Chains A and B, each alone.
Chain A
Amino acid sequence: MRALSLFITAALTVGSVQAAPAPSTPAPDFTLRSMNGPNLRLQEQRGKVVLLNFWATWCAPCREEMPHLNRLYEKYRAAGFVLLGVNVDDDPANALGVAGTFGVKFPMLLDTDKQVSKLYDLATMPSTVLIDRDGKVRYLHRGYKPGTELEYDQQIRTLLK
Chain B
Amino acid sequence: MKPTTALALAGRLAALAALAGALAGCAPIEPWVKPYERERLADPIMQFQRDALAERHRDHVFTVREGARGATGVQGGGCGCN
> Could you list which residues of chain A lie within 8 angstroms of chain B, going by C-beta atoms?
1, 4, 7-8, 11-12, 14-17, 54, 56, 58-59, 88-90, 111, 114, 117-118, 122-125, 127
Contacts and interface: CB of A to CB of B under 8 A. Distances in A.
A14 B36 contact: no
Contacts of A114: 34, 36-37
B35 A11 contact: no
Given A4-B13, A8-B17, A58-B43, A15 B24 contact: yes
Interface of B: 13-14, 16-17, 20-21, 23-25, 27-28, 30, 34-39, 42-43
Nearest to A58: B42
Contacts of A4: 13-14, 17
B36 A88 contact: yes
Interface of B, helix, strand, loop or mixed by DSSP: helix
Contacts, number: 55
Contact of A11 (B14, B21, B38, B42): B21
A7 B35 CA distance: 34
14 contacts: A1-B13, A8-B17, A8-B21, A11-B21, A14-B24, A15-B25, A16-B27, A58-B42, A88-B39, A90-B39, A111-B36, A114-B36, A114-B37, A117-B36
Contact of A54 (B17, B21, B27, B36): B36
Most buried by A among B17, B36, B43: B36
A8 B36 contact: no
Interface of A, helix, strand, loop or mixed by DSSP: loop
Contacts of A123: 35
Nearest to B26: A15
Given A4-B14, A17-B28, A124-B35, 11 more contacts: A8-B16, A11-B17, A15-B24, A16-B27, A16-B28, A17-B30, A58-B39, A111-B36, A114-B34, A114-B36, A125-B38
A124 B38 CA distance: 11
A20 to B, nearest CB: 13
